[in-house]
Amino acid sequence: MNGFQDALRGAARRLARGWVLAVAAGAVGGLAGAALVLGLKPDLPGPWSWRLAASPTPSPAEIVHRIAGPSVVGVISTYLRPDPITGKPVVAARATGSGVVFDARGFIVTNHHVVAMPRVAEPGVAGAGRQRGHPTPPRGTGPSGDEGGRRADHRHPDRIEVLLPDGRRVPARLVAEDYPFSDLAVLWVDPGTTGPLKPATFADSDQVRVGQWVAAIGSPAGLFRSVSLGIVSGVREELFQPVPPPTAVPVVGERIFRLIQTDAAINPGNSGGALVDAHGRVVGLNTVKIAGAGGRQDRFEGLGFAIPANDVRRIASDLIRHGRVRRAALGVHVVDVVQVPALARSDPDRASEFATALAEGRGAVIWRVEPGSPAARAGLRRGQVVIACDGEPVQDTVDLLRIVDGKQGGQRVVLEVAGDGGARRVTVQLAELTR
């Protein structure tokens, strides 16, 4: 029996040696094949030294990173709380995000949620959100006071730092924010400390095409200046819905969200970074990713969104110059025609007011007129339908709000309004929207 076992062991050893030789030969062949496919070249004379052959042409992501990368920074927000024993401030929370250099004076545009958090989310955090010992932006920019333009329902960091492309961390100050109208905020760093900054080049986002190549540059999970490649999946226009919506008003507010949808990877930390085109121009500011929640069926991939560059440029310019965004207001709440039947059923006594809307079949239906507003002074009333504004057809509420959103307070617009007596033109002088 011992002889049989010895023979079996010997056969096993010979078989094992054969498999090792076969696997080794296969591995060598595989490496050689991979070298041919991947462009690896042997570093002669040794057979196991390989190097990656220089690519004759850089990839699109490499090109845009080289152009736009120096204009993208990291943003680090630190929140403090008192130590329960010593009372001295200690770090309670730290958040990372991204930002884009807006101009050479030191202004950086980022997302509001990168430099703010709801107060209910961080109990016990010390201070009142003032950033002590930080530089002061140039006079004539930003809000008049340290807390100007800021909301009490959100908490701001005790310390904001910007991570520069060369790896240095410098202090930054929150200049102003546009919450809740948009998820944008402006920071300032001292150019005397940072040295020369490279402002980003902003593209005309109205020319963005579905299917065009884009790259997202930012700091996902704190990985500074990461690049992901994708395409523009869509260009969306959504009405601003107050949260929570007012119970007595079944309509939206007077704002509109424009968003560029992309499948380029956008993850926590990408917020405030740049979405750039093939020329390295910023087409949008990365702001949110829809990931879903719950079970596996509720998970989503490739649903990232960016605020269009034209909106970023306009809003950031106003925040820097005035400390707030100067928006136009018409003073009406509007609904789409398809909403009218349900709304009329909820108020049968006034259902007859919406006969024109149902007959018209299109337009922005006036549901409520704010007392003392430009619309009230122009004689507009509930149930009328706006079918054109400054010569542009209005098919629904999005059309009207988009046109008004492009105006400024004090400008006059000509509305074409359908009512009981037919259509007529009404001139309205827009007011400035207040918070």
Could you confirm whether 113 is annotated as catalytic? yes
Could you confirm whether 154 is annotated as catalytic? no
Closest to 111 in 3D by CA, of 160, 59, 166, 168: 160
Please confirm whether the linkage preceding 42 is cis (ω < 30° from 0): no
Closest to 112 in 3D by CA, of 124, 99, 101: 99
Site of tokens 């979405």? 275
Spatial separation of the C-alpha atoms in residues 178 and 385, rounded to whole Å: 31
Alpha carbon distances (Å) from 22 to 9, 46, 112, 188: 20, 22, 60, 63
Please confirm whether the linkage preceding 45 is cis (ω < 30° from 0): yes
Radius of gyration of the chain (CA): 29
pLDDT of residue 419: 87
Tokens for 69?
Answer: 């990368």
Spatial separation of the C-alpha atoms in residues 251 and 350, rounded to whole Å: 17
Q: For strands 364-369 and 282-289, give the pairing.
A: unpaired
CB 180 within 8 A of CB 103: no
Could you confirm whether 206 is annotated as catalytic? no
Backbone angles phi, psi at 286, to 5 degrees: -60, 135
Site of tokens 């696997």? 23
In the predicted model, residues of the chain with pLDDT beneath 50 are 1-50, 121-133, 139-150, 240-254
Closest to 375 in 3D by CA, of 337, 299, 431, 292: 431
Query: DSSP assignment, residue 431?
Result: E
Residue 37's contacts (CB-CB under 8 Å, 6 or more residues apart) are none
pLDDT of residue 144: 35
Site of tokens 């300032």? 188
158, 183, 336, 396: the catalytic one is: 183
**DSSP SS3 for 188:** strand
In the chain, what's the furthest Cα-to-Cα distance?
Answer: 113
Tokens for 258?
Answer: 């424009």
CB 279 within 8 A of CB 249: no
Closest to 214 in 3D by CA, of 102, 301, 309, 299: 309
Tokens for 106?
Answer: 């030191």
pLDDT of residue 15: 36
Proportion of the chain in helix, strand, coil states, percent, rounded to 5 = 25, 30, 40
CB 239 within 8 A of CB 258: no
65, 113, 134, 156: the catalytic one is: 113
Q: Hey, what's the torsion of the CAs at 240, 181, 371, 353, to 10 degrees?
A: -10
Spatial separation of the C-alpha atoms in residues 180 and 17, rounded to whole Å: 70
| pTM of this structure | 0.72
Spatial separation of the C-alpha atoms in residues 116 and 151, rounded to whole Å: 10
271, 311, 333, 396: the catalytic one is: 271
Which DSSP string corresponds to 2-53? Answer: HHHHHHHHHHHHHHHHHHHHHHHHHHHHHHHHHHHHHTEEE-TT-TT-EEEP
